[in-house]
Chain A
Amino acid sequence: MSQLIWNGLFVGSFYALVALGYSMVYGIIKLLNFAHGDIYMLGAFVGFGLLTMSGALATSAGFLGLLVVLLIAMLATGTAGLILERVAYRPLRSAPRLSVLITAVGASFALEYGMRLVAGPNPEVYPVRLEGTTLHVIGARITVEQIALVAIAVVLMVSLQWLVMGTGTGRAMRAIAQDPKASLYMGINVNAVIARTFFIGSALAGAAGVMAGAYYGKIDFLMGFLIGLKAFTAAVIGGIGNIKGAMLGGLVLGMLEAFGTAWLGGEWRDVFAFGFLIVFLTLRPTGLLGERVTERV
Chain B
Amino acid sequence: MALSPSRRPRSRFSIYVGVLAASAVLTGCGGGLLGQDDEGADTDAPIVLGLITPLSGSSSAIGPYMQNGAQLAVDEINADGGVDGRKLELVVEDEGCDPRTATAAANKLVTKGVDISVGGYCSGATLPTLPIFEKAGIPMIIPAANSTELVDQGLENVFLVNGTGTQQAESAVEFMTKQNATRVALVDDNTSYSTDIAKRTAELLEKGTGPELATHESVTAGESDYSANVNAVLQADPDFVYWTGYYQEGGLILRQLRQAGYTGALMVADGSVDQQLVEIAGAANGEGVFATMTQTPDTIPGAEAWIESYRDKFGSDPGPYSTQSYDAVRVAAEAVAQAGSTETEDVIKALEGIDGFELFSGPLTFTEEHTLSSGGFLILSVQDGKFQLADSLE
Chain A residues at the B interface, C-beta cutoff of 8 Å: 3-4, 7-8, 10-11, 14, 113, 116, 121-123, 125, 129, 131, 134, 141, 143, 212, 216-218, 220, 222-223, 225-227, 257-258, 260-262, 265-267, 269-270
- Whether A266 and B232, one on each chain, are in contact in the complex, defined by CB atoms closer than 8 angstroms, is yes
Residues of B within 8 A of A129 (CB): 282
A255 and B201 alpha carbons, distance in the complex (Å): 31
Q: Across the interface, which residues of A come within 8 angstroms of B217, CB to CB?
A: 265-267
CA A18 – CA B280 in complex, angstroms?
Answer: 23
Q: Which residues of A contact B235 (CB under 8 A)?
A: 262
Q: Which residue of A lies closest to B218 (CB)?
A: A267
Write out the residue numbers on chain B whose beta carbons fall within 8 Å of the beta carbon of A131: 259, 282
3 smallest beta-carbon distances between A and B, as pairs: A121-B60, A267-B218, A261-B228
* CB pair A270 B220 closer than 8 Å: yes
Query: 16 A-B pairs, CB-CB below 8 angstroms?
Result: A10-B225, A121-B55, A121-B60, A121-B63, A125-B279, A134-B259, A212-B224, A216-B225, A217-B280, A218-B280, A226-B223, A258-B231, A266-B219, A266-B229, A267-B217, A269-B228
- In-complex Cβ contact of A11 among B222, B227, B259 (8 A): B227
A141 to B282, CA, bound (A): 20
Question: A218–B252 contact, CB under 8 A?
Answer: yes
The verdict on A116 contacting B60 (CB below 8 Å), with A261-B229, A265-B217 known, is yes
CB of B182 closer than 8 Å to a CB of A: no
Given A220-B58, A270-B220 in contact, is the A125-B276 Cβ separation under 8 Å?
yes
CB nearest neighbor in B for A271: B220
Quick one: which of B222, B251, B252 contacts A226, CB cutoff 8 A? B222
B361: which A residues are within 8 A, CB to CB? Answer: none
Find the B residue at minimum CB distance from A263: B232
A269 to B227, CA, bound (A): 12
B222 to chain A, nearest CB (A): 5
With known contacts A122-B276, A225-B222, A266-B218, A258–B248 Cβ distance under 8 A: no
The answer to whether A216 touches B279 (Cβ under 8 A) is no
Per the bound structure, the CA–CA distance linking A131 and B282 in Å amounts to 10
Q: Which residues of B contact A220 (CB under 8 A)?
A: 58, 248
B61: interface (CB < 8 Å): yes
Query: How far does the Cβ of B227 sit from chain A's closest Cβ, in whole Å?
Result: 4
Residues on B with beta carbons closer than 8 Å to the beta carbon of A125:
276, 279-280
Interface size class for chain B? 20 to 34
Kindly list chain A residues whose C-beta atoms are within 8 Å of the C-beta of B255: 216-217
* In the complex, B190 has a CB within 8 A of chain A: yes
B56 adjacent to chain A (CB < 8 Å):
yes
Contacting A at CB under 8 A, from B200-225, are 217-220, 222-225
Contact B248 A227 (CB under 8 A): no
Are B229 and A216 interface neighbours, CB within 8 A?
A: no
Shortest Cβ distance from B255 into A: residue: A217
List of A residues within 8 angstroms of B260 by Cβ: 141
Chain B: minimal CB distance from A276 (Å): 15
Closest to B215 in A: A265
Bound: A262/B232 CA distance, A: 6
Q: Enumerate chain A residues within 8 angstroms of B224, measured Cβ to Cβ.
A: 212, 216, 218, 223, 227
- CB <8 Å contact, B227 and A10: yes
Query: Bound complex: CA of A245 vs CA of B175, how far in Å?
Result: 51
Q: Are A222 and B280 in contact (CB under 8 A)?
A: no
Given contacts A134-B261, A218-B280, A265-B218, 7 further A-B contacts (CB under 8 A): A116-B56, A122-B61, A216-B225, A216-B252, A218-B252, A258-B231, A261-B228
Q: How far is the CB of B379 from chain A (nearest CB, A)?
A: 25
Q: Is B30 in the interface zone, CB < 8 Å from A?
A: no
Q: Check B228 against A257 for contact (C-beta < 8 Å).
A: yes
- B264 in the interface (beta carbon within 8 A): no
What residues of B have a CB within 8 angstroms of the CB of A223 in the complex?
222, 224
Given contacts A113-B56, A121-B56, A222-B57, contact A217 B228 (CB under 8 A): no
Which residues of chain B have C-beta atoms less than 8 A from A266's C-beta?
187, 217-219, 228-229, 232
User: Which one of A7, A141, A212, A260 contacts B261 once the chains associate, using CB atoms below 8 Å?
Assistant: A141
B285 to chain A, nearest CB (A): 9
Query: Per a CB cutoff under 8 Å, which of B60, B187, B219, B282 touches A217?
Result: B282
Closest to B195 in A: A267
* 0/1 string, B248-284, CB within 8 A of A gives 1: 1001100100011100000000000000100110100
Contacts of B57 in A (CB 8 A): 222
Query: Is the beta-carbon distance between B251 and A7 smaller than 8 angstroms?
Result: no
Q: Which residues of A contact B223 (CB under 8 A)?
A: 226-227
Cα-based distance from A125 to B282 in the complex (angstroms): 9
Give every chain B residue within 8 A of A122 (Cβ-Cβ).
61, 276
Identify the closest chain B residue to A15 (Cβ). Answer: B225
Task: Determine whether the beta carbon of B232 is less than 8 Å from that of A123.
Answer: no
Instruction: Give CA–CA (A92, B330) in the complex, Å.
Output: 54
Q: Which of chain A's residues has its CB closest to B64's CB?
A: A121
Query: Which residue of the partner chain A has the closest CB to B256?
Result: A216
Contact partners of A217 in chain B: CB under 8 A: 251-252, 255, 280, 282
Residues in B whose Cβ lies below 8 Å from that of A123: 61, 248, 276, 280
Interface centre among A3, A10, A225 (most CB of B within 10 A): A3
1/0 contact trace for B55-98 toward A, CB 8 Å? 11110110100000000000000000000000000000000000
Residues of A near B251 (CB, < 8 A) are: 217-218
CB distance from A215 to the nearest CB of B (A): 8
Per the bound structure, the CA–CA distance linking A222 and B219 in Å amounts to 17
| A10 / chain B contacts, CB cutoff of 8 Å | 225, 227
Residue of B55, B56, B224, B282 ringed by the most chain A CB atoms within 10 A:
B224
Bound-state Cα–Cα, A7 to B233, Å: 14
Query: Are B228 and A262 interface neighbours, CB within 8 A?
Result: yes
What chain A residues lie within 8 Å of B228 (beta carbons)? Answer: 4, 7-8, 11, 257-258, 260-262, 266, 269
Bound together, the chains give a CA A191 to CA B282 distance in angstroms of 46
Q: Within 8 Å CB of A265, what residues of B?
A: 217-218, 232
- Which among A8, A121, A141, A266 has the highest number of chain B CB atoms within 10 Å? A266
Known contacts A116-B56, A121-B60; A3/B252 CB under 8 A: no
Kindly report which residue of chain A lies nearest to residue B280, judged by CB atoms: A218
Closest to B216 in A: A265
Q: Are A14 and B60 in contact (CB under 8 A)?
A: no
Known: A123-B276, A218-B248, A220-B58. A226 touches B220 (CB 8 A): yes
